[in-house]
Chain A
Amino acid sequence: MRPADYIRSDRRGRAAHDMEAEALCDPLLAEALEGFDTVDGDHAAAVESLRRRIAFRTRRTGLRPALRRLAAIAALTALLLTGGYLLTHRPAIPEAATVPPAELLAEVPGPAAPHAAGPTNTPGPPLSAPQRHPAPPSPTESQTTAPEGPRRALSDRTPPQPSDTTAGPVAADAPAEDRIADPEEAVVLAYGTNLGQEFVGSVRIRESKSAAADGEELPSLAAERMPTFRGGRKVPVKFILPADLRPQEPLSPGRTLEMWVRARLTYPEPLRKQGVAGRVTASVTIDTAGYVAAVAILDSPHPRLTRKTLRLLRRAPRQTPVRRGGEAVEERFLLTFDFPDDR
């Protein structure tokens, strides 16, 4: 007899007695029986779900330990070689072309850009050099042309940038002097270049935060992907985007899971070079506790992309489960991941 069977049964007869006698000598069993007794719930289903999840987490990906070690050594060697190459072949940045970061900050237009009336994920217009409106240099800014001045001035004026450069631009509070009077104006702290080159592409808004009525909180938004800049080292720059700051409907667990995976899914360079492109379609079941209970890849352009997607989906964090009539229910979602991801 298993503990859960004992809990569900009428606890009569020899089998129940044996379980109780065993619990007298085994504190783990005694405490477990006490736990099942004191908390209501479908414990048999919960245990079954836990067993499935443990088995699911340990499902082998097909690589044997020796092969895994070999792959790790190869990856490390490639990393070292790339690092060494970059160190020895670092492109020299012409001093004359360097635009002081403080000047970039000064290029933020004073009045807000026109607000978009469309949905939040409408791509904002790319900011290009001709669109910028340089502000007249203030006495402080004129001092920043000194060799060490600009960087210090920038770091003084901008919040610390996140260490994970693979993440998208992050919304950040601006210092008091940078605050904007219009509460609907949106500011993004993104990664740009200190060469003052043209910003390429557009950012789509992932989340937005409205300003408080008293103007204490800066309106901000986070873009879905990191915008691309041409060349140069990456430093934080600030620019203004038109944004729709209307409250949004909460996303389904399938969509939040899709975004979580998409943020971590990289397009392997060899496949890009080979021209392997297409869409990975995955069927994912999220159980009543919010965990990924089952994954099936329905379509994929390449086995490597299948493995990468599977690995991430299996490691996904707990989501908010779907609720119907106040009760959490198991739900299946179809998720798609494009290579290359143009969304």
Chain B
Amino acid sequence: MTRTDDTPSRSDAELLERYRTERRSEQFAALYLRYTELVYGLALRYLGNCADAEDAVMQLFEELSAKVLRHEIACFRTWLYTVARNHCLMQLRRTGRRRPAPLAHDPADDATIELLCDREAREHRMEALAACIERLPEPQRRSIRLFFFDDLSYADIATATSWHLKSIKSYIQNGKRNLRLCLENRKR
């Protein structure tokens, strides 16, 4: 009897559950392979070179195959991010290197991003959103409109505005934060 491989159609939680039950390392590998690229990129960011990043990916694979059996994991992706990040920070501490500057990511902005990304949600609050966008400084207003409303990428916006790519990312981050504050003020 041949067994069909239904791994691609299974969710992370299903793969994790199957590995916990049957404890076959290739089942965990199927799950980890989905995130190899992201973990490698994350390790590159923290460790700063390809060889250390590759080692980190392989070490994490060995460590996590045992850890996932012991830990309660609600969302594998979030858990993996935390564990991989901590592993890289430990490596940096062990070798006495400095950690890179944190990315401008504010979890409190998530609701604003959802509002901006979701067209339906946007329609509901269009009036308030439009008023708040109007109050943003020019570069932030333009960047927000081009990115969220016209679906342009950072590179496209850079071409359209002649602004530097990093400045555009910064305008969008600051614009999001200002929008959140403005929308909260209007609710009260």
Contact of A234 with B by CB under 8 A: no
Smallest distance from the beta carbon of A137 to chain B beta carbons, Å? 53
- Max chain A CB contacts within 10 Å: which of B58, B78, B84, B172? B58
Contact indicator per residue, chain B 97-139, by CB within 8 Å of chain A (1) or not (0): 0001001010000100110010000000000000000000000
Contact of A275 with B by CB under 8 A: no
Contact of A263 with B by CB under 8 A: no
Contact at B46–A35, with CB atoms within 8 Å?
yes
Contact of B17 with A by CB under 8 A: no
A50-67 contacts to B (CB < 8 Å): 50-51, 53-55, 57-60, 65
Among B4-12, B20-28, B66-74, B179-187, the one that faces the other chain is: B20-28
The CA of A20 and the CA of B155, in the complex, are separated in Å by 10
Contact at B50–A39, with CB atoms within 8 Å?
yes
Contact residues in A for B50 (Cβ distance below 8 Å): 39, 41, 43, 46
Cβ-defined partner of A289 (8 Å) among B41, B51, B61: B51
Q: State the main secondary structure of chain B at its contact with A.
A: helix
Contact at B154–A65, with CB atoms within 8 Å?
no
The CA of A16 and the CA of B168, in the complex, are separated in Å by 15
Smallest distance from the beta carbon of B134 to chain A beta carbons, Å? 22
Contact residues in A for B176 (Cβ distance below 8 Å): 24
Contact at B153–A12, with CB atoms within 8 Å?
yes
Sort chain B's interface into a size bin: 35 or more
Contact at B154–A53, with CB atoms within 8 Å?
no
Contact of A273 with B by CB under 8 A: no
The CA of A33 and the CA of B26, in the complex, are separated in Å by 27
Contact at A35–B41, with CB atoms within 8 Å?
yes
CB-based nearest B residue for A32: B41
Cβ-defined partner of B40 (8 Å) among A25, A34, A47: A47
Contact at A25–B110, with CB atoms within 8 Å?
yes
Contact of B49 with A by CB under 8 A: yes
CB-based nearest B residue for A29: B38
Contact at A27–B33, with CB atoms within 8 Å?
no
B18-66 contacts to A (CB < 8 Å): 22-26, 28-29, 32-33, 35-46, 48-51, 53-54, 57-58, 61
Smallest distance from the beta carbon of A14 to chain B beta carbons, Å? 6
Contact at B103–A30, with CB atoms within 8 Å?
yes
Contact of B152 with A by CB under 8 A: yes
Contact at B25–A25, with CB atoms within 8 Å?
no
Contact of B81 with A by CB under 8 A: yes
Cβ-defined partner of B61 (8 Å) among A26, A27, A54, A59: A54
Contact at A39–B48, with CB atoms within 8 Å?
yes
- Max chain B CB contacts within 10 Å: which of A29, A31, A50? A31
Contacts known (A51-B36, A55-B33, A58-B29); A11 close to B43, Cβ less than 8 A: no
Contact residues in B for A289 (Cβ distance below 8 Å): 51, 54
Contact of A89 with B by CB under 8 A: no
Cβ-defined partner of A11 (8 Å) among B51, B61, B153: B153
Contact of A277 with B by CB under 8 A: no
Q: Can you spell out 14 A-B residue pairs with CB atoms less than 8 angstroms apart? A: A10-B155, A13-B156, A14-B151, A17-B147, A25-B117, A31-B103, A34-B103, A35-B43, A35-B44, A35-B46, A39-B53, A50-B36, A55-B29, A65-B23
Interface residues of B (CB under 8 A from A): 22-26, 28-29, 32-33, 35-46, 48-51, 53-54, 57-58, 61, 77-78, 80-81, 84-85, 100, 103, 105, 110, 113-114, 117, 147-148, 151-156, 159, 172, 176
Known pairs A3-B37, A14-B151, A31-B45 / 17 extra A-B pairs, C-beta < 8 Å: A10-B155, A16-B154, A20-B147, A24-B113, A25-B113, A25-B117, A27-B103, A31-B42, A31-B46, A32-B38, A32-B42, A35-B46, A50-B57, A54-B58, A59-B26, A65-B22, A289-B51
